[in-house]
Amino acid sequence: MCVSRCVRCVGVALVALATVCAAANSLLLLPELKVRFLLEGHVTREASWATGLWSSGLLVALGARAFLRSGRAPGCCAFRTRMLRQALYSCACLLSSALCCVVSATGLVQGPLCLYNATSGAAWGVPLRPTADRDAGYLYNRSAWSGVCLEPKGVVQWNVVLFSVLGGASGLQALLCAANVVNTLLGAVLGRGGPRLSVTSV
């Protein structure tokens, strides 16, 4: 069987996706590529939670490191034990990436925090947030992207693109981890059965 090889391939893919998630979340924290909005607390709530950095970034990268170190295990019992450990790592990575995906989708639907013209004057808030009489239709109405937020400039486009990238990458992580759970559990059940199988296992 090539269970271990598949585990390492998943590890490589997860490292790449974790890098994308970390980069996207870092950029979300820096609208206009300026740190002052972050220091002043004028960053979208879901971006400030930084799930792309610690959840789909660091935690998934640590799980991927364990996948990449998966190698030959001497004997049937050791092999099955290793596969069960990989399944647990996969479950942990699945939960981490799913959390980031949900937070990203929420940030995308809620819209960005920005300075806008309220009834009482310019104020910081989330003007595109869905209400009882308005859903998240701003995502499909690009004319609203440039006429609502005064600062940071282009923050609607910035959030839509980066939250989409973050949600897509973390969603792909979750799919890979779910597939890896099945793969490693099958490996534990159907893996090395004797000396002949140990020759072809990786």
**Tens-of-pLDDT digits for all 202 residues of the chain?**
466 778 888 999 999 999 999 999 999 999 999 999 999 999 999 999 999 999 999 999 999 998 888 655 555 667 778 888 889 999 999 999 999 999 999 999 999 999 999 988 999 999 998 877 666 678 888 887 888 999 999 999 999 999 999 999 999 999 999 999 998 888 778 765 433 333 333 3
- The DSSP 8-state label assigned to residue 54 in this structure reads I
DSSP track, 90-111: HHHHHHHHHHHHHHHHHHHHH-
Q: Which amino acid is at 51?
A: T
Q: Phi and psi of 101, rounded to 5°?
A: -65, -45
pLDDT of 202: 32
The structure's pTM equals 0.86
